[in-house]
Amino acid sequence: GDAAGGAKDVGERIAKRGGGLHGGERDAADRVGFEGAWLALDRAHPLTVTVRVVGRDGELRTAECRLAATEWEGRPAVIVTVRDISERVRAEARRQQDARVQAALAATAGMAHDFGNYLMSIQGGIELAERMLSVDHPARALLASAGTSAEQAAGLVGRATALAKGVSTMRLRPVNIAA
């Protein structure tokens, strides 16, 4: 299309790809030229784009570019402001990661609480069944094994709850790997 549309298309491709002008895009931007870029800008609403660029030190950075249409000595001009926002972008990524971790910990706490309630019911059922059986009943061994498993599961629930609350209950202990 027209020069303004061409400038907009180039800008959209740059924004989608997250990089600077390369190869064919640079050629397209040259063809559109300054006049087309100026026409694409609205004087009342400067254009702000975020791009990924490689700094002089070779590090990938995020830059915010603000383009505002104006006139200079009676001719169309564009004021371009470029700001390195790499640290802000990294801080936001860290904040989002922290929020995901907090959400996972909250879900863990909720599941551990519910699982603990189920275990209490299981342990209570095992105790009642043991009371109903004679001392020499063969099912007592099975109930004792189920009781041991329920106690071990309760220990896991306790550790998951502590993890979710930010309290470590894990203790290091030696393990014989030859056994």
Q: Where are the beta strands (DSSP E) in 18-167?
A: 47-54, 60-72, 75-84
Tens of pLDDT, residue by residue over 20-55, are 444 444 444 444 455 555 566 666 778 888 888 888
Tens of pLDDT, residue by residue over 106-155, are 888 889 889 999 999 999 999 999 999 999 999 999 999 999 999 999 99
What pTM was computed for the model? 0.52
